[in-house]
Structure 1
Amino acid sequence: MITYRPGTSYFQFGTPDKYYTWLCVVPRGKVSGTVTVEGKTKSITGMGYHDHQWGSINFHKYWNHRIWARQSYDDCSLLLFDFFTNEEYGTKRFPIIFIQDNNGNFIFESHNNVECKVEKQYTDKASGKQYPSILDYTFKQDDTFVDTRYLKMNIF
């Protein structure tokens, strides 16, 4: 049995000692520094992202796959995860989306009531497996919804 605690991104696989969790520490941070290439140093500035994942399990033993996407806009950042457990845990799906303003406040968060449409797939040459390359998600929460078809989340 797997349980998920919304708002904390805490996944428990059976017993309390088997867990995986994720935290978006900085969805949109200011970054500055220097880069040196072939002896020439250049100052740079931009936007950075930092998340952290931890747990007591081997990710690949419990999770089959995941889809992860993020997009930053002038006034907010969107993060989307779609986790799938392995067969032992019923290939259960956990779609999660949230939008944060530039101060880190949640504007929208949903982990259920989701529709996903695969618009296009590709075949991985090494494994022969098919994977989605264009996905459209619609998340609903009360009277609000987020539709990613306008984002065209191209994976490959």
Structure 2
Amino acid sequence: MAMMQAFPAAVTAIDWPLLLGASAIMALTPGANQLLSLSNGFRVGIAPAMTAACGRFAAFVLMVIGVAVGLGHWLATSAIFFNVLKWVGAAYLLYLGIRTLMTAWRPTARPMSADIETTQSRLLIRREALVALSNPKAVEIVDYH
């Protein structure tokens, strides 16, 4: 109710069935982050993959903050900036996909020490964050707010 009083035009202009339907479809469609988490789970185990997912959630928090400070409006009004950001993200995701395919059959039979596990966790967290930040699907969500 408070939102309705603060932003009456914005709240009444929302097509709620369309928004909820589109949100459900996007949530059910596996994207780059879900596939990366599955890949991490298969390669390094469930616990490190769940730790790495913290990087994704941190990136999403940054996106929400960006929306709150007006980044969505800037992306909506600057087609050049939006397209550059979208294609840089797509290129990064393509690079990760190719790299994953090229290293999929590399053997990893040696046990890990604590130092290697810590370093690996940092790399996994960073990769999850970068995939989330460069995901064109997530950037488009920012664009519509």
Q: TM-score, normalised by structure 2?
A: 0.23
Higher relative contact order (CA 8 A, sep 6+): 2
Structure (1/2) with the larger strand percentage? 1
